[in-house]
Amino acid sequence: MEQYGLITENKGETAIITLQKHLSCEKCGHCGILSGAGKREVSIEVSNPIKAEAGERVMIETDDRRMLFVSFMLYMVPLLGLVGGIFTGLMLAEHFSFQENQELYAVGTGFVFMAIIFLLIRVWDNKAKNNPYYRPVIVEIIYESGSEAKCEES
């Protein structure tokens, strides 16, 4: 996925970029929307292999497969944990002969499984934030002159 943004700070190998949020990823959370709800602009840290400077307009690229993987981790894995926990709770309630409120035990177990998975995702997310593999990359500097825009590829 390609996006355009403005470099606000250069940190050598990385840069801070301000970009407009896409409508397609407005509620994803990967770029920090949960902490800045309602803002149309977001600042993210990206890899800067072409050594673009602060104030330059650039095109960044994110690998679609990595975005799908992150989306799967954030949405599907907790859901699978909830469903798996519900079935596990039903089996445990049956095994321990809880005749009353078996469904309540099942739902409680499902929420416990989901909470544990959210904690594990949080730990994974803290490690992934510093991993360049998941970081978007600056691929071009955009030079605008008059009505046409020129690009410089690395």
Q: For residue 60, what are its two tokens?
A: 């960044």
> What separation in angstroms does the CA of 2 have from each of 46, 61, 82?
13, 5, 34
Is the pLDDT at 116 greater than 90? The verdict is: yes
Q: Are 121 and 73 in contact (CB under 8 A)?
A: yes
Residue 23, pLDDT score: 58
Domain boundaries, the chain: 1-62+136-154, 64-130
Region of 132 please: left (phi>0), alpha (psi -120 to 50) or beta.
Answer: alpha
Residue 88, pLDDT score: 95
Q: What is the CATH number of domain 1-62+136-154?
A: 2.40.50
Distance CA 14, CA 126 (A): 18
60: helix, strand or coil: strand
**pTM of this prediction?**
0.64
DSSP secondary structure string, 80-141? HHHHHHHHHHHHHHHHTT--S-HHHHHHHHHHHHHHHHHHHHHHHHHHHHT-GGGS-EEEEE
Q: Encode pLDDT of 8-44 as tens digits.
A: 998 888 999 998 665 555 555 555 544 445 556 888 8
Q: Encode pLDDT of 78-115 as tens digits.
A: 999 999 999 999 999 999 888 888 999 999 999 999 99
Mean pLDDT of the chain: 83
Is the pLDDT at 123 greater than 90? The verdict is: yes
